[in-house]
Amino acid sequence: MYRYLGELVTRVAANGALASGCVDFALPASAALTRVRRYSAAVTDQEDDPNFFRMVEGFFDRGASIVEDKLVHDLKTRETPEQKRHRVRGILKIIKPCNHVLSVSFPIKRDNGEWEMIEGYRAQHSQHRTPCKGGKFIYKFTLYCRKRAPDINAHACVTGKPISQGGIHGRISATGRGVFHGIENFVNEAAFMSQLGLSPGFGDKTFVIQGFGNVGLHSMRYLHRYGAKCVGVGELDGSIWNPNGIDPKELEDYKLANGTIVGFPNANPYEGSILEADCDILIPAASEKQLTKKNANNIKAKIIAEGANGPTTPEADKIFLERNIMVIPDMYLNAGGVTVSYFEWLKNLNHVSYGRLTFKYERDSNYHLLMSVQESLERKFGKHGGAIPIVPTAEFQDRIAGASEKDIVHSGLAYTMERSARQIMRTANRYNLGLDLRTAAYVNAIEKVFKVYHEAGLTFT
């Protein structure tokens, strides 16, 4: 319920590089505009260990450099070509940095008696659409402030809540389920599979997962259910391997009982890096920068599905493109969690569960439809053969019973992931990007955010 606190309370040691990344905001206007036009050499050509912020900047620059000319061409304004380009570059410059960054400091007392100051950060990158994944911080917030305007500028929005506290069914598995749907959309696309030398579908696919937490477990569960075979799982304390397949339920039960996957009886210990194991699909679902220039040439998988945030460095990303390996990018693939969090937010705004107002109406409508068909057939043919009962199939009977909230959430998530995948595919084809799905995803995002800023208008001071 309070998982966002973990994002807020970020140790300085883990984020020390953030300060160097923020220096970019102070660049002169000319330098900043130049950076928007190119894939940042400082990130991609000189470093294999950039911080996550600089990695995103580099990927943004690459997408912006590709889409800029199209944005200029599509502007329907009475401006000169030079003025249009200034407008496009200006909006791209607005999109790139964070709008708001909040820094907080507070003390903690460790178990050994030592006192330590903790610094945390909350960044709201863009506010062209709300809600932001963040919060407000007000010094000495009092009951008086809350009383005077309880319905304006609500001061908290938490998702991932228990069902009894306004949560939503399907949120726990949402990120892993989104990973599955994201892989599914590309694995079933014959045009992309032919470029990799693979056949469409999950039936003959093997996969390896690094990280057996929430994302890894549910990704493994759904992939296994639809026919793919998990041959390896890696965690910080060890990895396991079974070429005949690992059952996700058995592994989950073992980890719950033992606190580790090490020693799992239905698999063998794996020596070496599980990332470099032989498989069709590799799912890094643990932490940042796991795939780097050092190990990119040793990766045997043909598909890398980024369940974690930023598992691939820009240098490794370039190597994968050169080696004809398809990377399904994190900004798309692990969006299932925030998508269902959005559904939860909408549910809370409406103060009613999904489907509650329509369950009975839809069920009765379906029965009336069947009765109408039966009566029509009996009027036409019944005098020759008696009654003609119309009996729903077992599958249709389940649907007649009414979609549960979980059914609606799963359907909405699947549709969202499919629609986004189609947009990425179209963009990749339009700009002749081949297997560079990351750049295609960034181009899509830039086009959407640019359109909102341009059409909403800007105020200058």
* CA 89/CA 95 separation, integer angstroms: 10
What tokens were used for 415? 């549709």
In degrees, to the nearest 5, what angle opens at C-alpha 215 toward C-alphas 428 and 192?
25
Residue 229 DSSP SS3: strand
Q: Is 206 annotated as a binding residue?
A: no
Which residues touch 173 (CB under 8 Å, ≥6 apart)?
218, 221
Q: Which of 284, 290, 328, 331 is nearest to 308 (CA)?
A: 284
Q: Is 175 annotated as a binding residue?
A: yes
Q: Give the residue carrying structure tokens 């998988």.
A: 301
Longest dimension (CA), the chain: 92
Beta bridge partners of 107: 117
Q: Give the residue carrying structure tokens 């709300």.
A: 130
Q: What is the CA radius of gyration of the chain?
A: 26
Q: Tell me whether residue 180 is exposed, middle or buried, using C-beta atoms within 10 angstroms of its C-beta: 0 to 12, 13 to 18, 19 or more.
A: buried
Residue 454, CA distances (Å) to 26, 75, 88, 131, 287 in order: 24, 9, 9, 20, 36
Residue 188 DSSP SS3: coil
Please, where are the H alpha helices in 154-243? 174-187, 190-196, 214-225
Q: Which of 428, 434, 459 is nearest to 67 (CA)?
A: 428
Q: For residue 300, how many other CB atoms are within 10 A of its CB?
A: 13
Residue 120 DSSP SS3: strand
Peptide bond into 311 cis (omega under 30): no
Tell me the residue length of the chain: 461
Q: Which of 412, 350, 413, 451 is nearest to 129 (CA)?
A: 451
Q: Give the residue carrying structure tokens 């004809």.
A: 324
Which residues touch 432 (CB under 8 Å, ≥6 apart)?
none
Q: Which residues are annotated as a binding site for NAD(+)?
A: 175, 214
Q: Which residues are annotated as a binding site?
A: 175, 214, 341
Q: Which residues are annotated as a binding site for substrate?
A: 341
